[in-house]
Amino acid sequence: MINIAFRLLLTFNATSLLVIIFLVQKSYTLSYFLADVANLDWLNTLPNAVSYVLYILVPLLSTGLSILLSSKLGKDDFKQSEVASIEHANNSFLPSYLGYFFVALSIDNSETLAFVYAILFAFTFLSQALYFNPLFLIFGYEFYNITTKNGTAIFLISRHKYKKPDEIVISTAFRINNYTFIERG
């Protein structure tokens, strides 16, 4: 159960930037959403940037929470000489995220946004492939595609700066799914 909740949180983290870009592009501020709430007229005096910073704080804090909660996941390890190859994966996902940004900029209304976001969220969650979230980079994490000696392809999220396969000796890696692990610390 904790694993499903964690994967839902990671999926939200990975896809929420689409909504934020839409909100910023449409200039939807907090005063737009809270216009009918009494005693919040002062929101109209705030610069738009305040709303946008608060919007980005939601997935940023949520990403921090997911890092903290990762310790509740199942544990695995990587022993010396278990990894056959390693490839740095930070840059390989950037084109996908730029695609999300362009999609968000081309969406005209909130109904379309909700439909596109629901599809994107479902595909990201159900694919169970990778939970790439560029906000992990802000927390100092790196992304690696690893192939084990027995040919298994693994996605590793780690703060360590690995360069060679023989450097990968991990006593505790937390299992997000069978192909994705996060190494804390």
pLDDT per residue over 92-104, tens digit each? Answer: 777 777 777 788 8
27, amino acid identity:
S
Distance CA 73, CA 173 (A): 9
Over residues 120-132, the pLDDT tens digits come to 899 888 876 556 7
Tokens of 87: 């490839």
Nearest to 178 by CA among 48, 58, 74, 59: 74
Q: What's the predicted TM-score (pTM) here? A: 0.83
On the question of pLDDT at 42 being above 70, the answer is yes
Residues 6+ apart with CB under 8 A from 105: 21, 22, 25
For β-strands 153-158 and 180-183, DSSP reports them as parallel
Rounded average pLDDT over 14-34: 88
What residue ranges do the domains of the chain occupy? 2-183
Q: Would the pLDDT of 138 be above 70?
A: yes
